[in-house]
Amino acid sequence: SPSDPDLVERARAAKARLGDKVFVLGHHYQRDEVIQFADVTGDSFKLARDAAARPEAEYIVFCGVHFMAESADILTSDDQKVVLPDLAAGCSMADMATAEQVAECWDVLTEAGIAEQVVPVSYMNSSADIKAFTGKHGGTICTSSNARRALDWAFEQGEKVLFLPDQHLGRNTAVRDMGMSLDDCVVYNPHKPNGGLTAEQLRAAKMILWRGHCSVHGRFSLDSVDDVRARIPGVNVLVHPECKHEVVAAADYVGSTEYIIKTLEAAPAGSKWAIGTELNLVRRLANRFAPEGKEIVFLDRTVCFCSTMNRIDLPHLVWALESLADGNLVNRIEVDKETEAFAKLALERMLALP
């Protein structure tokens, strides 16, 4: 739907009043009405780096979700203030691993006598607390673009990996990209005593997958793939690795958001694509590439937007920008110093990956 012209004007005016003092980041999954005001767009990791490359911006307005604003705060200087226009914009996946649960898991691994062999690898989509846990225990962060390299590195440091919080990215990377078997993986359920696993199972496993998932990508099913192939002959199925293993196994192409965009840019005219990722992005890509004769559809019409991403709407953005222009620092996301130091250690290990 087109955005309210009054709000568009107010956002423009507030941004103009702030000038170089504000830098607006827009995640790929944001609404069109918000994306139009983004100085840069990208995935969570690119955006955190873009923020760090703008030290003159006193305010970083992060149009995305909470863990992304935390990562931007960790990677920017102490004078820069990161603002999340709606504090209720969380991430259901990141919320599936809390500091207490992860500490308890480490105790379980210690009891089973394997903690010393385990290297934690945490997906970018995790809270600052989980990143700090990872840094403290010798592990690294990964994105969906470098998960394979992160796992290769981790298996040079130890015999086992604890992968947090997205079981699907962990399993898909291990099995699809690295040739491990499904039996090499076990799932640790934080809601069950000992994660629902015996010490025996933990000792036998190479990949200990945290039982988390994305509530958007996790909804694509094998049926979605079969249906779209029946509906659109010759369609190429392209999905994000946060999708379930059976969906990834049935797809033609698998990769991160940036990979999806690049693949569609390079696709020939007349090609047909069904995309399994967030709907705001898929719609934008469909509109962008339609004039070039590329047909792009959403993989499953019953899956919807990321509801927390969509919490950032134009009214919230206007409110945040006008507040900042009036000198009121609202909705600041600030990670405490100790957490930041350990989380940064884990992020730096990722940056140093070969």
Indicate the annotated binding residues: 27, 44, 91, 123-125, 144, 214, 240-242, 257, 306
Tell me if 41 contacts ligand CIZ by CB under 6 A.
Answer: no
Tell me if 257 contacts ligand CIZ by CB under 6 A.
Answer: yes
Whether a cis peptide bond, with omega within 30° of 0, leads into 315 is no
E strands within the chain? 22-27, 40-42, 59-63, 81-83, 118-123, 140-142, 160-164, 185-188, 207-210, 236-239, 253-254, 272-276, 295-298
Tell me if 308 contacts ligand SF4 by CB under 6 A.
Answer: yes
Total residues contacting ligand CIZ (rule CB under 6 A)?
Answer: 9
User: Of 80 and 144, which CB lies nearer to ligand CIZ in the complex structure?
Assistant: 144
Instruction: Give the shortest CB-139-to-ligand CIZ separation in angstroms.
Output: 18
Q: How many CB atoms lie within 10 A of CB 315?
A: 15
Tell me if 95 contacts ligand SF4 by CB under 6 A.
Answer: no
Tell me if 214 contacts ligand CIZ by CB under 6 A.
Answer: yes
Alpha-carbon distance 98 to 104, whole Å?
Answer: 10
DSSP 3-state helix, strand, coil percentages of the chain (rounded to 5)? 50, 15, 35
Return the range that interacts with ligand SF4 (CB under 6 A); candidates 18-26, 73-81, 90-98, 339-347. Answer: 90-98
What, of ligand CIZ, ligand SF4, none, does residue 124 touch, CB below 5 to 8 Å by kind? ligand CIZ
Residues in the annotated binding site for [4Fe-4S] cluster: 91, 214, 306
Question: SS3 for 217?
Answer: helix
Binders in 141-170 for ligand CIZ, by CB under 6 A: 143-144
Strand ranges across the sheet with 236-239: 253-254, 236-239, 272-276, 295-298
Structure tokens at 69: 């604003």
- Write the single-letter amino acid at 313: D
Q: Which residues form the interface with ligand SF4 (CB under 6 A)?
A: 29, 65, 91-93, 125, 214-216, 278, 306, 308-309
Q: Which residues form the interface with ligand CIZ (CB under 6 A)?
A: 43-44, 124-125, 143-144, 214, 242, 257
